[in-house]
Amino acid sequence: MTSKSPVLVDLKFDPKVVATALKTAFPDRGSINLADPAHRDRDLTAVDYALLWKPAPDLFRRAPNLKLIFSGGAGVDSLIGLDGLPDVPMVRFVDRSLTVRMSEWVVLQCLMHLRDVVGHIQNQRKRVWGKQVAPEAREVTVGMMGLGVLAQDAAAKLQAIGFNVIGWSRSAKQIKGMQTFDAGALDAFLGRTDILVGLLPLTPETTGIYNASLFAKLRRNGPLGALGQPVFINAGRGKSQVQADITAAIENGVLGGASLDVFEVEPLPADDPLWAHENVIITPHDAAVSEEYALMRHVEEQIVRFERGEPLQFLVDRRRGY
Ligand code: NDP
Ligand code: OXD
Protein backbone atom coordinates (compact mmCIF):
# COMPACT_ATOMS: atom_id res chain seq x y z
CA MET A 1 0.00 0.00 0.00
CA THR A 2 1.42 3.42 -0.93
CA SER A 3 1.08 6.07 1.76
CA LYS A 4 -0.74 9.28 0.89
CA SER A 5 1.26 12.44 0.40
CA PRO A 6 0.88 14.90 3.31
CA VAL A 7 -0.30 18.43 2.57
CA LEU A 8 2.44 21.02 2.82
CA VAL A 9 1.04 24.10 4.58
CA ASP A 10 2.71 27.52 4.44
CA LEU A 11 0.09 30.05 5.47
CA LYS A 12 0.97 33.44 6.90
CA PHE A 13 -2.23 33.38 8.99
CA ASP A 14 -2.57 33.24 12.79
CA PRO A 15 -0.22 30.28 13.52
CA LYS A 16 -2.20 29.12 16.56
CA VAL A 17 -5.46 28.92 14.60
CA VAL A 18 -3.77 27.11 11.70
CA ALA A 19 -2.15 24.61 14.11
CA THR A 20 -5.51 23.95 15.79
CA ALA A 21 -7.33 23.47 12.49
CA LEU A 22 -4.59 21.11 11.26
CA LYS A 23 -5.12 18.81 14.25
CA THR A 24 -8.32 17.49 12.67
CA ALA A 25 -7.65 18.23 9.00
CA PHE A 26 -6.35 15.63 6.52
CA PRO A 27 -6.71 12.62 8.86
CA ASP A 28 -5.62 10.12 6.18
CA ARG A 29 -2.56 11.98 4.98
CA GLY A 30 -1.39 14.44 7.64
CA SER A 31 0.34 17.73 7.00
CA ILE A 32 3.69 19.45 7.14
CA ASN A 33 3.14 22.88 8.65
CA LEU A 34 6.13 25.12 7.99
CA ALA A 35 5.05 27.42 10.85
CA ASP A 36 5.70 24.53 13.25
CA PRO A 37 9.39 24.54 14.34
CA ALA A 38 9.29 20.72 14.46
CA HIS A 39 8.39 20.57 10.74
CA ARG A 40 10.49 23.44 9.43
CA ASP A 41 13.44 21.34 8.21
CA ARG A 42 11.45 18.39 6.86
CA ASP A 43 12.34 16.95 3.48
CA LEU A 44 9.69 18.24 1.05
CA THR A 45 10.85 16.49 -2.10
CA ALA A 46 8.07 13.86 -2.04
CA VAL A 47 5.22 16.28 -1.29
CA ASP A 48 2.38 16.40 -3.86
CA TYR A 49 0.10 19.13 -2.48
CA ALA A 50 0.74 22.59 -1.07
CA LEU A 51 -1.63 25.04 0.60
CA LEU A 52 -0.02 28.46 0.40
CA TRP A 53 -0.51 32.10 1.37
CA LYS A 54 2.60 34.28 0.94
CA PRO A 55 4.92 31.24 1.02
CA ALA A 56 8.65 31.22 1.83
CA PRO A 57 10.78 32.31 -1.18
CA ASP A 58 12.62 28.96 -1.32
CA LEU A 59 9.47 26.83 -1.07
CA PHE A 60 9.29 25.67 -4.70
CA ARG A 61 12.99 24.79 -4.67
CA ARG A 62 12.48 22.68 -1.55
CA ALA A 63 9.26 21.09 -2.88
CA PRO A 64 10.08 20.46 -6.55
CA ASN A 65 7.51 17.69 -7.17
CA LEU A 66 4.22 19.43 -6.36
CA LYS A 67 1.23 18.21 -8.36
CA LEU A 68 -1.35 20.70 -7.10
CA ILE A 69 -1.21 24.11 -5.45
CA PHE A 70 -3.97 25.63 -3.30
CA SER A 71 -4.26 29.34 -2.59
CA GLY A 72 -5.16 30.17 1.00
CA GLY A 73 -7.47 32.87 -0.32
CA ALA A 74 -9.71 33.69 -3.26
CA GLY A 75 -7.05 35.92 -4.82
CA VAL A 76 -3.93 34.41 -6.38
CA ASP A 77 -1.98 37.54 -7.25
CA SER A 78 0.60 36.87 -4.51
CA LEU A 79 1.27 33.38 -5.92
CA ILE A 80 1.16 33.95 -9.64
CA GLY A 81 4.37 35.94 -10.01
CA LEU A 82 6.46 33.83 -7.65
CA ASP A 83 9.90 32.61 -8.71
CA GLY A 84 9.94 28.89 -9.42
CA LEU A 85 6.13 28.48 -9.38
CA PRO A 86 5.65 25.08 -11.07
CA ASP A 87 3.31 24.70 -14.02
CA VAL A 88 0.73 22.60 -12.14
CA PRO A 89 -2.99 23.24 -11.55
CA MET A 90 -3.73 25.97 -9.03
CA VAL A 91 -6.99 26.01 -7.09
CA ARG A 92 -8.25 29.15 -5.36
CA PHE A 93 -10.42 29.31 -2.25
CA VAL A 94 -14.15 29.54 -2.95
CA ASP A 95 -16.47 28.80 -0.07
CA ARG A 96 -19.76 29.92 1.39
CA SER A 97 -18.03 31.22 4.54
CA LEU A 98 -15.86 33.59 2.49
CA THR A 99 -18.63 34.70 0.13
CA VAL A 100 -21.07 35.45 2.94
CA ARG A 101 -18.51 37.52 4.85
CA MET A 102 -17.72 39.59 1.76
CA SER A 103 -21.39 40.23 1.07
CA GLU A 104 -21.89 41.36 4.67
CA TRP A 105 -19.03 43.83 4.29
CA VAL A 106 -20.23 45.19 0.94
CA VAL A 107 -23.84 45.60 2.11
CA LEU A 108 -22.62 47.23 5.33
CA GLN A 109 -20.48 49.76 3.46
CA CYS A 110 -23.24 50.66 0.98
CA LEU A 111 -25.66 51.25 3.85
CA MET A 112 -23.04 53.22 5.82
CA HIS A 113 -22.84 55.71 2.93
CA LEU A 114 -26.55 55.62 2.05
CA ARG A 115 -27.53 56.50 5.64
CA ASP A 116 -24.48 58.69 6.46
CA VAL A 117 -23.66 56.60 9.51
CA VAL A 118 -20.35 58.44 10.01
CA GLY A 119 -22.19 61.80 10.11
CA HIS A 120 -24.66 60.43 12.65
CA ILE A 121 -21.88 59.13 14.89
CA GLN A 122 -20.13 62.50 14.72
CA ASN A 123 -23.38 64.20 15.72
CA GLN A 124 -23.91 61.75 18.55
CA ARG A 125 -20.44 62.46 19.97
CA LYS A 126 -21.31 66.19 19.94
CA ARG A 127 -24.81 65.47 21.37
CA VAL A 128 -26.37 66.98 18.25
CA TRP A 129 -29.92 65.90 17.19
CA GLY A 130 -29.01 66.03 13.47
CA LYS A 131 -32.00 64.56 11.63
CA GLN A 132 -31.27 63.60 8.01
CA VAL A 133 -33.50 62.51 5.15
CA ALA A 134 -31.62 59.74 3.38
CA PRO A 135 -32.43 58.61 -0.15
CA GLU A 136 -34.10 55.23 -0.53
CA ALA A 137 -31.86 52.42 -1.69
CA ARG A 138 -33.80 52.09 -4.94
CA GLU A 139 -32.79 55.67 -5.88
CA VAL A 140 -29.11 54.66 -5.77
CA THR A 141 -27.26 52.59 -8.37
CA VAL A 142 -24.45 50.39 -7.13
CA GLY A 143 -22.01 49.45 -9.90
CA MET A 144 -20.05 46.26 -9.27
CA MET A 145 -16.64 46.13 -10.98
CA GLY A 146 -16.03 42.42 -11.31
CA LEU A 147 -18.95 40.00 -11.48
CA GLY A 148 -17.37 36.89 -10.04
CA VAL A 149 -18.34 34.64 -7.15
CA LEU A 150 -18.11 37.37 -4.50
CA ALA A 151 -19.62 40.24 -6.49
CA GLN A 152 -22.62 38.23 -7.69
CA ASP A 153 -23.56 37.20 -4.16
CA ALA A 154 -23.13 40.75 -2.83
CA ALA A 155 -25.16 42.08 -5.77
CA ALA A 156 -28.08 39.77 -5.00
CA LYS A 157 -28.09 40.89 -1.36
CA LEU A 158 -27.91 44.58 -2.33
CA GLN A 159 -30.85 44.01 -4.67
CA ALA A 160 -32.82 42.36 -1.88
CA ILE A 161 -32.42 45.57 0.14
CA GLY A 162 -33.64 47.56 -2.82
CA PHE A 163 -30.53 49.03 -4.44
CA ASN A 164 -30.44 49.20 -8.21
CA VAL A 165 -27.38 47.09 -9.07
CA ILE A 166 -25.44 47.03 -12.34
CA GLY A 167 -22.23 45.19 -13.17
CA TRP A 168 -19.11 45.26 -15.32
CA SER A 169 -16.83 42.34 -16.18
CA ARG A 170 -14.23 41.24 -18.70
CA SER A 171 -16.65 38.94 -20.52
CA ALA A 172 -20.31 39.71 -21.20
CA LYS A 173 -22.76 38.27 -18.67
CA GLN A 174 -26.49 37.74 -18.42
CA ILE A 175 -27.66 38.01 -14.83
CA LYS A 176 -31.36 38.12 -14.06
CA GLY A 177 -32.52 41.52 -12.86
CA MET A 178 -29.21 43.25 -13.50
CA GLN A 179 -27.96 45.44 -16.32
CA THR A 180 -24.45 44.26 -17.20
CA PHE A 181 -21.61 45.76 -19.22
CA ASP A 182 -18.58 44.05 -20.76
CA ALA A 183 -15.00 45.31 -20.81
CA GLY A 184 -15.61 47.62 -23.80
CA ALA A 185 -18.50 49.43 -22.11
CA LEU A 186 -16.69 50.76 -19.03
CA ASP A 187 -17.58 54.42 -19.54
CA ALA A 188 -21.30 53.68 -20.01
CA PHE A 189 -21.22 51.62 -16.81
CA LEU A 190 -19.41 54.32 -14.81
CA GLY A 191 -21.81 57.01 -16.05
CA ARG A 192 -24.72 55.14 -14.41
CA THR A 193 -22.95 54.35 -11.12
CA ASP A 194 -23.46 56.22 -7.82
CA ILE A 195 -21.64 53.76 -5.56
CA LEU A 196 -18.76 51.89 -7.20
CA VAL A 197 -17.84 48.56 -5.60
CA GLY A 198 -14.49 47.05 -6.65
CA LEU A 199 -14.27 43.27 -6.48
CA LEU A 200 -11.69 42.69 -9.19
CA PRO A 201 -8.68 40.39 -8.94
CA LEU A 202 -5.25 42.02 -9.28
CA THR A 203 -3.81 41.40 -12.76
CA PRO A 204 -1.73 43.55 -15.12
CA GLU A 205 -5.04 44.85 -16.63
CA THR A 206 -6.55 45.82 -13.27
CA THR A 207 -3.45 47.40 -11.74
CA GLY A 208 -4.19 51.08 -11.08
CA ILE A 209 -7.62 50.86 -12.70
CA TYR A 210 -9.31 52.90 -9.93
CA ASN A 211 -7.75 56.24 -10.70
CA ALA A 212 -8.63 59.92 -11.11
CA SER A 213 -9.85 59.51 -14.68
CA LEU A 214 -12.20 56.68 -13.65
CA PHE A 215 -13.57 58.55 -10.61
CA ALA A 216 -14.33 61.57 -12.83
CA LYS A 217 -16.64 59.38 -14.97
CA LEU A 218 -18.90 58.28 -12.11
CA ARG A 219 -22.39 59.73 -12.01
CA ARG A 220 -22.89 62.89 -10.01
CA ASN A 221 -26.37 63.88 -8.80
CA GLY A 222 -28.12 60.75 -10.05
CA PRO A 223 -31.60 61.04 -11.55
CA LEU A 224 -33.24 61.44 -8.16
CA GLY A 225 -30.43 63.51 -6.69
CA ALA A 226 -29.51 60.58 -4.45
CA LEU A 227 -26.17 60.86 -2.66
CA GLY A 228 -25.00 63.73 -4.89
CA GLN A 229 -21.34 62.77 -4.94
CA PRO A 230 -20.30 59.25 -5.90
CA VAL A 231 -18.74 56.83 -3.43
CA PHE A 232 -15.91 54.37 -4.00
CA ILE A 233 -15.78 51.02 -2.17
CA ASN A 234 -12.93 48.56 -2.72
CA ALA A 235 -12.35 45.09 -1.29
CA GLY A 236 -10.57 43.58 -4.32
CA ARG A 237 -6.89 44.45 -4.16
CA GLY A 238 -5.09 47.64 -3.12
CA LYS A 239 -2.77 47.77 -6.10
CA SER A 240 -5.83 48.19 -8.33
CA GLN A 241 -6.29 51.63 -6.79
CA VAL A 242 -4.15 54.76 -7.20
CA GLN A 243 -4.33 55.83 -3.58
CA ALA A 244 -3.09 59.39 -4.12
CA ASP A 245 -5.98 59.79 -6.59
CA ILE A 246 -8.49 58.61 -3.97
CA THR A 247 -7.16 61.12 -1.44
CA ALA A 248 -7.28 63.91 -4.05
CA ALA A 249 -10.79 62.92 -5.19
CA ILE A 250 -12.06 63.00 -1.60
CA GLU A 251 -10.40 66.36 -0.99
CA ASN A 252 -11.67 67.99 -4.18
CA GLY A 253 -15.19 66.54 -3.92
CA VAL A 254 -15.03 64.23 -6.96
CA LEU A 255 -15.81 61.48 -4.45
CA GLY A 256 -18.18 62.02 -1.55
CA GLY A 257 -16.78 59.12 0.44
CA ALA A 258 -14.93 55.83 0.29
CA SER A 259 -14.71 52.49 2.07
CA LEU A 260 -11.41 50.70 1.63
CA ASP A 261 -10.43 47.25 2.87
CA VAL A 262 -7.32 46.89 0.70
CA PHE A 263 -4.34 49.18 0.12
CA GLU A 264 -1.32 49.66 -2.12
CA VAL A 265 0.86 48.93 0.92
CA GLU A 266 -0.53 46.82 3.80
CA PRO A 267 -0.70 47.58 6.64
CA LEU A 268 -1.64 51.11 5.56
CA PRO A 269 1.26 53.30 6.80
CA ALA A 270 0.39 55.38 9.87
CA ASP A 271 1.17 58.64 8.04
CA ASP A 272 -1.16 57.96 5.09
CA PRO A 273 -3.58 60.90 4.64
CA LEU A 274 -6.53 58.51 4.12
CA TRP A 275 -6.61 57.68 7.85
CA ALA A 276 -7.64 61.24 8.70
CA HIS A 277 -10.55 61.70 6.27
CA GLU A 278 -13.87 61.59 8.06
CA ASN A 279 -15.76 60.26 5.06
CA VAL A 280 -13.28 57.45 4.40
CA ILE A 281 -13.96 54.15 6.18
CA ILE A 282 -10.90 51.97 6.55
CA THR A 283 -10.91 48.27 7.44
CA PRO A 284 -7.67 46.23 7.69
CA HIS A 285 -8.11 43.70 4.85
CA ASP A 286 -10.61 41.71 6.86
CA ALA A 287 -13.72 42.07 4.70
CA ALA A 288 -13.67 38.31 4.12
CA VAL A 289 -11.02 36.32 5.90
CA SER A 290 -10.34 32.69 5.03
CA GLU A 291 -11.79 30.57 7.81
CA GLU A 292 -9.18 27.86 8.49
CA TYR A 293 -11.51 24.88 9.03
CA ALA A 294 -13.47 25.70 5.86
CA LEU A 295 -10.21 26.14 3.94
CA MET A 296 -8.83 22.76 5.03
CA ARG A 297 -12.16 21.08 4.17
CA HIS A 298 -12.10 22.64 0.70
CA VAL A 299 -8.50 21.44 0.15
CA GLU A 300 -9.37 17.92 1.26
CA GLU A 301 -12.40 17.86 -1.09
CA GLN A 302 -10.34 18.95 -4.07
CA ILE A 303 -7.55 16.44 -3.32
CA VAL A 304 -10.13 13.64 -3.19
CA ARG A 305 -11.47 14.78 -6.58
CA PHE A 306 -7.93 14.93 -7.99
CA GLU A 307 -7.02 11.46 -6.74
CA ARG A 308 -10.26 10.03 -8.15
CA GLY A 309 -9.46 11.61 -11.52
CA GLU A 310 -12.46 13.97 -11.31
CA PRO A 311 -12.25 17.56 -12.58
CA LEU A 312 -10.98 20.12 -10.07
CA GLN A 313 -13.18 23.08 -9.12
CA PHE A 314 -12.17 26.74 -8.83
CA LEU A 315 -9.15 26.37 -11.09
CA VAL A 316 -7.07 29.46 -11.77
CA ASP A 317 -6.52 30.45 -15.37
CA ARG A 318 -2.83 31.40 -15.31
CA ARG A 319 -3.07 33.19 -18.65
CA ARG A 320 -5.82 35.53 -17.37
CA GLY A 321 -4.16 35.80 -13.97
CA TYR A 322 -7.17 34.90 -11.79
P1 NDP B 1 -13.74 35.72 -9.49
O2 NDP B 1 -12.55 35.18 -10.21
O3 NDP B 1 -14.89 34.84 -9.23
O4 NDP B 1 -14.29 37.02 -10.24
C5 NDP B 1 -13.45 37.99 -10.78
C6 NDP B 1 -14.31 38.92 -11.62
O7 NDP B 1 -13.47 39.99 -12.09
C8 NDP B 1 -14.90 38.24 -12.85
O9 NDP B 1 -16.20 38.69 -13.07
C10 NDP B 1 -13.97 38.71 -13.97
O11 NDP B 1 -14.56 38.79 -15.26
C12 NDP B 1 -13.65 40.11 -13.50
N13 NDP B 1 -12.41 40.61 -14.13
C14 NDP B 1 -11.16 40.12 -14.02
N15 NDP B 1 -10.30 40.84 -14.77
C16 NDP B 1 -11.03 41.80 -15.38
C17 NDP B 1 -10.74 42.84 -16.29
N18 NDP B 1 -9.49 43.03 -16.73
N19 NDP B 1 -11.74 43.61 -16.72
C20 NDP B 1 -13.02 43.40 -16.30
N21 NDP B 1 -13.38 42.44 -15.42
C22 NDP B 1 -12.40 41.63 -14.98
O23 NDP B 1 -13.17 36.30 -8.10
P24 NDP B 1 -13.90 36.45 -6.69
O25 NDP B 1 -15.20 37.12 -6.89
O26 NDP B 1 -13.88 35.15 -5.99
O27 NDP B 1 -12.87 37.40 -5.93
C28 NDP B 1 -12.54 38.67 -6.45
C29 NDP B 1 -11.34 39.24 -5.72
O30 NDP B 1 -11.69 39.64 -4.39
C31 NDP B 1 -10.17 38.27 -5.45
O32 NDP B 1 -9.39 38.09 -6.61
C33 NDP B 1 -9.43 38.98 -4.34
O34 NDP B 1 -8.48 39.86 -4.89
C35 NDP B 1 -10.51 39.76 -3.62
N36 NDP B 1 -10.78 39.27 -2.26
C37 NDP B 1 -10.62 40.13 -1.21
C38 NDP B 1 -10.90 39.73 0.06
C39 NDP B 1 -10.83 40.68 1.19
O40 NDP B 1 -10.98 40.28 2.34
N41 NDP B 1 -10.67 41.96 0.93
C42 NDP B 1 -11.33 38.35 0.35
C43 NDP B 1 -11.49 37.54 -0.83
C44 NDP B 1 -11.21 37.99 -2.08
P45 NDP B 1 -15.09 37.47 -16.01
O46 NDP B 1 -16.33 37.08 -15.25
O47 NDP B 1 -15.39 37.93 -17.38
O48 NDP B 1 -14.01 36.45 -15.90
C1 OXD C 1 -8.39 36.63 -0.44
C2 OXD C 1 -8.12 37.65 0.57
O3 OXD C 1 -7.96 36.78 -1.59
O4 OXD C 1 -8.34 37.37 1.77
O5 OXD C 1 -9.05 35.63 -0.11
O6 OXD C 1 -7.72 38.76 0.23
pLDDT tens for the chain, 322 residues long, are 458 999 999 999 999 999 999 999 999 999 999 999 999 999 999 999 999 999 999 999 999 999 999 999 999 999 999 999 999 999 999 999 999 999 999 999 999 999 999 999 999 999 999 999 999 999 999 999 999 999 999 999 999 999 999 999 999 999 999 999 999 999 999 999 999 999 999 999 999 999 999 999 999 977 644 578 999 999 999 999 999 999 999 999 999 999 999 999 999 999 999 999 999 999 999 999 999 999 999 999 999 999 999 999 999 999 999 9
H helices present in 126-202, as ranges:
149-161, 186-190
User: Given ligand 2 and candidates 200, 290, 314, which is best to mutate, with the most ligand atoms within 8 Å of its CB?
Assistant: 290
122 alpha carbon – ligand 2 mean position (Å): 32
296 alpha carbon – ligand 1 mean position (Å): 22
Work out the percent of the chain whose per-residue pLDDT is above 70.
Answer: 98
Q: Is 256 in the pocket of ligand 1 (CB under 6 A)?
A: no
Neighbours of 6 (CB within 10 A): 20
Q: Is 208 in the pocket of ligand 1 (CB under 6 A)?
A: no
Q: Is the pTM of this model over 0.95?
A: yes
Judge contact between 93 and 290, C-beta under 8 A. Answer: yes
Q: Is 237 a catalytic residue?
A: yes
Nearest-CA neighbor of 69 among 236, 303, 289, 294?
A: 303
Domains of the chain: 7-95+290-308 (3.40.50.720), 97-282 (3.40.50.720)
Q: How far is CA 251 from the centre of its chain?
A: 26
The closest ligand to the CA of 286 turns out to be: 1
75 alpha carbon – ligand 1 mean position (Å): 8
75 alpha carbon – ligand 2 mean position (Å): 5
Report the distance separating Cα 61 and Cα 278, nearest Å: 47
pLDDT at 3: 82
The closest ligand to the CA of 320 turns out to be: 1
Q: Is 205 in the pocket of ligand 1 (CB under 6 A)?
A: yes
**From 237, 308, 318, 319, active-site residue:** 237
Nearest CA to ligand 1 atom 16: 170
Q: Is 39 a catalytic residue?
A: no
Judge contact between 316 and 88, C-beta under 8 A. Answer: no
- φ and ψ at residue 296, rounded to 5 degrees: -65, -40
**From 285, 297, 318, 319, active-site residue:** 285
102 alpha carbon – ligand 2 mean position (Å): 10
Give the three-class secondary structure for 113: helix
Q: Which atom of ligand 2 is nearest to the CA of 289?
A: 4
Q: How far is CA 278 from the centre of its chain?
A: 24
Read off the pLDDT of residues 101-157 as tens digits, 9 standing for 90 and up: 999 999 999 999 999 999 999 999 999 999 999 999 999 999 999 999 999 999 999
Give the three-class secondary structure for 53: strand
- φ and ψ at residue 213, rounded to 5 degrees: -65, -40
pLDDT at 1: 47
